[in-house]
Amino acid sequence: METNGINLDQLQATVEAVTADPEVARFEFRAETRWVLGGRSETQIQSFYGARQEDRSRLQPFTVVSDEPEVLLGTNAGPNAVELVLAALGSCLSVGIAYNAAARGIHLRALRLTITGTLDVQAFLGLTEAVRPGYERLEVKYHIESDATPDQVSDLLTYVQRTSPVLDIVRHPVPVTFVRID
């Protein structure tokens, strides 16, 4: 049975597998970024570890091209890093809404998220430490068409905000270490 393009039997089997063995839920995702020139870089994403095994189902890597807009000395070959954060957040929230709506029996007809981030590049340019280099605030506007009541949509969005991995990464500091590789 499918709802919103999600196989509910497979979703239930995944929940049962993780309930029976929480180690199945441990994942390690990887990305390798290489600087190209100027503000441009290319990130390759392919293998990952999850469900107690190395996953090699992706026969070719995904390549994400990043650059800066011309006003920030780039060539507009792709979105910049802070725009990719918005894309990651939108993708994660979209998946969370679709999957959890399906699990609740909510049929989606349309879902659109518009995410806006505000930041000040003075810190990035090394001009001041008085402002943070990252986003000052993010705003998520949403449009949902479904068979759900407004209360059901509100409950769904509250739940998704509590369980979204990318939203959690954005809202809470994550330890980051730098290790030299040769």
pLDDT, tens digit, 9 for 90 and up, residues 64-76: 999 999 999 999 9
pLDDT, tens digit, 9 for 90 and up, residues 87-117: 999 999 999 999 999 999 999 999 999 999 9
pLDDT, tens digit, 9 for 90 and up, residues 9-52: 999 999 999 999 999 999 999 999 999 999 999 999 999 999 99
pLDDT, tens digit, 9 for 90 and up, residues 113-167: 999 999 999 999 999 999 999 999 999 999 999 999 999 999 999 999 999 999 9
Q: What is the pLDDT of residue 46?
A: 97
Q: For residues 65 and 30, is the Cβ–Cβ distance under 8 A? A: no
Alpha-carbon distance of 41 to 126, in angstroms, equals 21
> Rounded to 5 degrees, what are φ and ψ at 23?
-65, -25
- Record the pTM: 0.93
Q: Name the token pair of 28.
A: 């390690």
| pLDDT category of residue 171 using cuts at 50, 70 and 90 | very high
Domains and CATH numbers, the chain: 1-78 (3.30.300.20), 79-182 (3.30.300.20)
Q: For residues 97 and 148, is the Cβ–Cβ distance under 8 A? A: no
Q: What is the pLDDT of residue 129?
A: 93
- The yes-or-no verdict on residue 1 having pLDDT over 90 is no
